[in-house]
């Protein structure tokens, strides 16, 4: 609401046991949070004209110094993306699936200025990492925790701590994949203005088609 938006932290939980749903779920909810936060600030502007600037200043405190700052499109409120059920996803044998899912999630979260962590409720270390992210953004607790970005392992990436250079380029498709891409583009309604994000979404559909 306009009254509590300044203290709000969005948490998007993704189900890694259902990989084909992951990117669509992420994009749907992050866009809803962005739109709602903007609406709340606009409604509050009549009584608090500085609210929007305070939220921007707080977000910039996390993003400042990032080499990709000019292309990041953050929400007005912090967002934590929790890729849950990592214990079920890590048993998949295809290493390409780990790379594509991890790098696609990293790029989407980086582009939208969100934090990312993978969790397994049976693993105390991943749950502790999640609690650290919550403390950082809910209670404004500073931390010097290392970033963990290897998609073959649980990931922990606070807001502003990733980069396009580290994520790497979208894999080039072969001819068979191009046919998938054409079908994907015909069906996709929520294209973004960022070509690389669209590219990651496209390759994601190739690797994790709907059953």
DSSP string, the chain: -TTTGGG--EEEEEETTSGGGHHHHHHHHHHHHHHHHHHHHHHHTTT-TTHHHHHHHHHHHHHTT-TTGGG----SS-EEEEEE-HHHHTT---HHHHHHHHHHHHHHHHHTT-EEEE--TT-HHHHHHHHHHHHHHHS-----PPPB--TTS--EE-TT---HHHH-PPPPP-HHHHHHHHHHHHH-----S-HHHHHHHHHHHHHS---
d(CA 8, CA 138): 7
pLDDT at 185: 57
**CA quadruple 185, 210, 167, 154: dihedral, nearest 10:** 160
pLDDT at 55: 94
Contacts of residue 89, defined as CB under 8 A and 6 or more positions apart, other chains included, come to 16, 17, 19, 83, 98, 101
Quick one: which of 173, 202, 200 has its CA closest to 185? 202
**pLDDT tens per residue, the chain (211 residues)?**
888 899 999 999 999 999 999 999 999 999 999 999 999 999 998 888 899 999 999 999 999 999 999 999 999 999 999 999 999 998 988 888 999 999 999 999 999 999 999 999 999 999 999 999 999 998 877 766 679 999 888 999 999 999 999 999 988 766 665 565 566 555 555 555 688 898 898 888 888 987 6
pLDDT at 172: 72
What are the backbone angles phi and psi of residue 79, rounded to the nearest 5°?
A: -130, 135
Paired with 156 in beta bridges are 117, 148
d(CA 201, CA 55): 29
Quick one: which of 94, 116, 119 has its CA closest to 107? 116
User: Parallel, antiparallel, or unpaired for β 115-118 and 156-157?
Assistant: antiparallel
pLDDT at 173: 63
- Whole-structure pTM value: 0.89
Q: Which sign, positive or negative, has the C-alpha torsion 52, 57, 63, 69?
A: positive
Contacts of residue 90, defined as CB under 8 A and 6 or more positions apart, other chains included, come to 98
d(CA 3, CA 126): 32
């Amino acid at each position: 609401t306009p009254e509590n938006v300044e203290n709000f932290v969005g948490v998007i939980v993704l189900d890694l046991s259902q990989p084909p749903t992951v990117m669509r779920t992420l994009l749907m909810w992050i866009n809803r949070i962005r739109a709602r936060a903007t609406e709340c600030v606009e409604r509050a502007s009549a009584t608090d004209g500085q609210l929007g600037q305070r939220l921007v200043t707080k977000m910039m405190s996390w993003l400042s110094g990032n080499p990709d700052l000019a292309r990041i499109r953050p929400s007005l409120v912090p967002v934590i993306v929790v890729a849950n059920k990592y214990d079920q996803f890590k048993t998949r044998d295809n290493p390409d699936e780990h790379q594509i899912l991890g790098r696609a999630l990293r790029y989407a979260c980086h582009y939208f200025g969100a934090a990312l962590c993978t969790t397994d409720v049976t693993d105390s270390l991943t749950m502790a990492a999640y609690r650290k992210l919550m403390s950082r953004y809910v209670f404004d607790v500073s931390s010097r925790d290392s970033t963990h970005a290897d998609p073959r392992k649980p990931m922990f990436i606070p807001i502003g701590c990733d980069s396009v250079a580290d994520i790497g380029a979208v894999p080039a498709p072969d001819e068979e994949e191009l046919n998938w891409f054409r079908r994907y583009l015909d069906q996709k309604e929520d294209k973004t203005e960022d070509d690389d994000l669209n590219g990651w979404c496209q390759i994601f559909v190739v690797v994790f088609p709907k059953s």
